[in-house]
Amino acid sequence: MARVSLPTTARLPSSLRVDASNPAVIKVLNRLSRTSLLSLVLDWLDPKNLTLCPPVLRHPEEGEDDEDEDDLYPPARSLDELQSIYVDLQARKGSRREVVDRIIEGDWRHGLSLYQLAMADMQYLYDHPGTLKWSTYRIERLQTPRHEDDVDADGIRRPEKIDKASLAIPRFHPSTFLQNLQAEVLPDVKAHYNLDRPPGLPLLLLRIFVLDSPYNTDLAVSSKNQNRSRASITTTVRTSTGSLIEMSAPNPSARDRRSGAAAPASFDASRTIYVAFPDAAPYVYISRSQSSGPTTPSDTKSLRTLVVEGIPKALSRPRERYALRPSDLHTKNLEALLAARGPGRGAAAAGGWSVYAAGAGEARDKALVSPLNVALPVTPPDSDAEGRAKKRGREEEEEEERLRKRRVARARFGDAARMDDGKGVERVDILLEDGFPALPGLDTNTLVEDDDEQEADMAGRANKPGRKKSGNTSSLFATEEGDEEGEREGDGRNRRRKPGETNWRPNLKLTFHGPHVFAGIRQLVEAGIVDGARAPGWMTGEEGVTVGVVREGRIRGFKGSGVGG
């Protein structure tokens, strides 16, 4: 350990070790299942990673008799021996506890490096992909000011304009980006970065681990208030892993550490935030930050703001500046994000338009692909259509009606929004700002009495998808008497009022919940509960947003086409 620690602006090194008895370490390891824990350990023991995660090995000069009899996990003599121990554990059945204890009491008793913790955290994310909520941002080029005066005219800084006519595609270079991002991080905060490529997803995942400390040495991971943290640690250790204290007590080094000069490390206010960069797409996905220890909501918010503000600066270069613009898509499903904001063709052609975007692999009608094939395209056969064609009378009509609904659903949703496509978003919020439709023969004033019922109808229709798909979901809709005119006129300058629309604008918010919202709506269309031909476009998910304001029946200013409104 370095005797003198100077405050610096450097990042936290990956090899920095955190004490193994730290509750944060135990928590990170305990989250993993036994199998992924074991494969993780074998990854640590891989010669490529070994410099960053060195295990405790017995010194070759030490003889057999030096062995501490009380040591439950005597250190292995060589790397191969250690590897075979863990391979044996993999073959054997047992508890996760056994492996965790072996790691923190035995082979990594001197502490786990930040790199190891990052790997463990990433492994947890891969095992449980739905644990983080992501928001998408679009990277946009800013106009280069033509002249210095443009920037600082009259001493007032003008907001930068987005260069819409720019043909540049932002390029992402990981190491340069990290250097620039580090420059944006404040000196009283230290961060550790870890880049990884999740298996099977075309994106690069950056884990940013932030500690409130001016040092980038051991001091950063040890607590400022030794007494307080020690007290807290002993209690946590006792409650979380029962017999740990007794077991580790005979180990002299561990005992020294616990009672001696170096207080056990504690992440009093550590926060983790993930940033994902999809390949070949000008978007960034940023996760909500997770924190260990007591933090206030404003605290985590500020970290997020820091990252959101730092990323465009880190991407920018002299005379080439970028900004991030939120793109109204929030979900826990990375696959859904990649489908709507990824490199594929379907990004700006979702919903019913996806028939044009289908990749070569999933093209059912190859005739659409090559103009050299002159055979007539065959309409995709409706399932079990042929078998039941012989039915008579009412049954036949019902069958036809069912097929018609399926065709309507196909026209509106295309090949997208299937229950099993794994691209489900779990929540969609829509705010309706349209005037209430006037009914013939009714005055606006008398309408006000009726419309509660009407709204209940509408909301009920929207309500059902959520309920049907998962039992415990709820749908929320709030109706308030809209402020008649005044306010609305202000922001609706260039709106035309449709004929047959009343002045009355209810403030209507729809929330759809479920494992796959749009697949649920599709099922409702197929079942005939929602009229597929009359359902508005935002119900089919073709806009690719999960938060939106509807005006004139369309989501205002969607970014799906890449042009923006």
Partner 1 sequence: MDTRESRSPDQSVADKLDDEIANLRAQVESLKKELALQTSTLMTSEPIQKLLQPDRSGRPRSKQTEVDSKEKLLARAQDQNARKQQCLYRTCASITTFKIHDPDPNAVDDGHVLGVRLEVMSKSRFLRPYYVMLNRPYSERRYLRVHRHTVPQCIPLAGLAARYLPAPSNKRDHNDSSKQDLSQFVRALRREIVRYHNRNAVIGDLRKSAGLESKTERSQEQEVPIVDISAADAEAKQISVGWGDGRSGRLVMDDDGTIVKMVVQGENGRDRDAVRQLLGGSARIEEVVRRLEGI
Torsion 270-129-285-417 (CA) sign: negative
Measured from the CB atom, the residue of 249 and 363 that comes closer to partner 1 is 363
- Report helix, strand or coil for 217: coil
Report the 3 state secondary structure along 464-519. HHHHHHCCCCCCCCCEECCCCCHHHHHHCCCCCCCCCECCCCCEEEEEEECCCHHH
Q: How far apart are CA 31 and CA 36, in angstroms?
A: 10
Structural tokens at position 375: 């055979």
Torsion over CA of 525, 526, 531 and 532, rounded to 10 degrees? 70
Question: Smallest gap, in angstroms, from Cβ of residue 264 to partner 1?
Answer: 40
416 lies in the site for partner 1, by CB under 8 A: no
Q: With binding defined as CB under 8 A, does residue 557 bind partner 1?
A: no
Token couple for 170: 């932002």
Q: Tell me whether residue 6 or residue 169 sits nearer to partner 1 (CB atom).
A: 169
- Cα atoms in the Cβ-side hemisphere of radius 13 Å centred on 489: 4
Q: Interface mask (CB under 8 A) for partner 1, residues 471-510, using x and -?
A: -------------------------x--------------
Question: According to CB under 8 A, which one of 184, 399, 429, 552 is a site residue for partner 1?
Answer: 552
> In sequence order, what are the residues at sequence separation of 6 or more whose Cβ sits closer than 8 angstroms to the Cβ of residue 139?
170, 282, 283, 284, 312, 315, 322, 323, 324
Binding of partner 1 by 347 (CB under 8 A): yes
196 binds partner 1 (CB under 8 A): no
Q: In the complex, what is the shortest distance from the CB of residue 171 to partner 1, in angstroms, rounded to a whole number?
A: 5
* Stretch in the footprint of partner 1 (CB under 8 A) among 223-231, 232-240, 252-260, 554-562: 554-562
The DSSP bridge partners found for residue 430 are 510, 548
Mark residues 76-115: x for contact with partner 1 by CB under 8 A, - for none.
----------------------------------------
Q: Does 548 bind partner 1 (CB under 8 A)?
A: no
Strand partners, 275: 206, 286
Site for partner 1 in 393-412 (CB under 8 A): 411-412
Q: Which stretch binds partner 1 (CB under 8 A): 11-19, 268-276, 342-350, 453-461?
A: 342-350
Of 182, 281, 135, 192, give the one whose Cα is nearest residue 14: 192
- Helix %, strand %, coil % of the chain (to 5): 40, 15, 45
* Residues 458, 451 contacting (CB under 8 angstroms): no
Specify the stretch interacting with partner 1 by CB under 8 A; choose among 114-122, 209-217, 463-471, 546-554.
Answer: 546-554
Q: Are 357 and 368 in contact (CB under 8 A)?
A: no
Instruction: Using CB under 8 A, count the residues that bind partner 1.
Output: 56
Q: Quick one: which of 164, 317, 364, 388 contacts partner 1 (CB under 8 A)?
A: 164
- Bridge partners (DSSP) of residue 271 are 210, 291
Q: Does 387 bind partner 1 (CB under 8 A)?
A: no
Stretch that binds partner 1, among 107-115, 142-150, 344-352, 438-446 (CB under 8 A): 344-352
Nearer to partner 1, 467 or 554 (CB): 554
* Per-residue x/- track, 349-368, partner 1 (CB under 8 A): x--xx--xxxxx--x----x
Among 94, 250, 536, 557, binds partner 1 (CB under 8 A): 536
Q: Which is closer to partner 1, CB of 156 or CB of 372?
A: 372
List residues near partner 1 by CB under 8 A.
Answer: 164-169, 171, 279-282, 342-349, 352-353, 356-360, 363, 368-378, 411-412, 496, 533-537, 540, 542, 552-554, 560-564
